[in-house]
Chains A and B, each alone.
Chain A
């Protein structure tokens, strides 16, 4: 049981390049989330999904797109990377009844945009 797996773990991009971060979970969770973590600011929600084929905006969605074509996967895309998107990105998933139990985080992706 791998839990929540994020790939890649590290990446360096040049300004203007695009990339996709992949999040995969094997716990049959309905809800999935993408957060970013910046120094001194805690984690902030970028986008989330409450089920296959659904996505919604979080607190800081600008510059990102997401897709949930399969229940187990949640992709985060950067179409034209900017230095302001340098951050650590966390994916998380949870059950349909998100009372906090079963909330599982991936190990994070450190992205640097130069």
Chain B
């Protein structure tokens, strides 16, 4: 069975600085997807970034980028130029190819301080 682990329950960062959230996962699958979701106080689940396991190039979406280390089964999220609106819970998630079922980590609460 696949598992996803986020070892940082809480983190904080000063506005405009850079922060990295950690995620590790365990799987024997070769084809899968990895995601970072943001959940602000509104409770809405918002997709931040997506990585396909067969792609070696790390995904980037504006200020958000990932460091995908397939052999180490590590998938960290880097947020550059942090903004107050980035304050939220962040979830790392795994999806086995062609199943649609997401497996989530425990979440990391990020607070951006002015």
A43 on interface, CB distance cutoff 8 Å: yes
B6-44 contacts to A, CB under 8 A, are: 9, 33, 35, 42-44
The answer to whether B50 and A42 have CB atoms under 8 Å apart is no
Q: How many residues of B contact A (CB 8 A)?
A: 24
Chain A: residues with CB nearer than 8 A to chain B? 31, 33, 35, 40-45, 48, 50, 58, 88, 90, 92, 94, 97-101, 103, 105, 107-108
Q: Do the beta carbons of A48 and B101 come within 8 Å of each other?
A: yes
Residue positions of B touching A, CB distance < 8 A: 4, 9, 33, 35, 42-45, 47, 50, 52, 91, 95, 97-107
How many angstroms from the CA of A98 to the CA of B100 in the assembled complex? 5
Chain A residues closer than 8 Å to B4, beta-carbon distance: 42
User: Are A44 and B104 touching (Cβ within 8 A)?
Assistant: yes
The residues of B that contact A100 with a CB separation of less than 8 Å are 33, 35, 47, 50, 95
Q: Complex: how many Å from CA A33 to CA B45?
A: 14
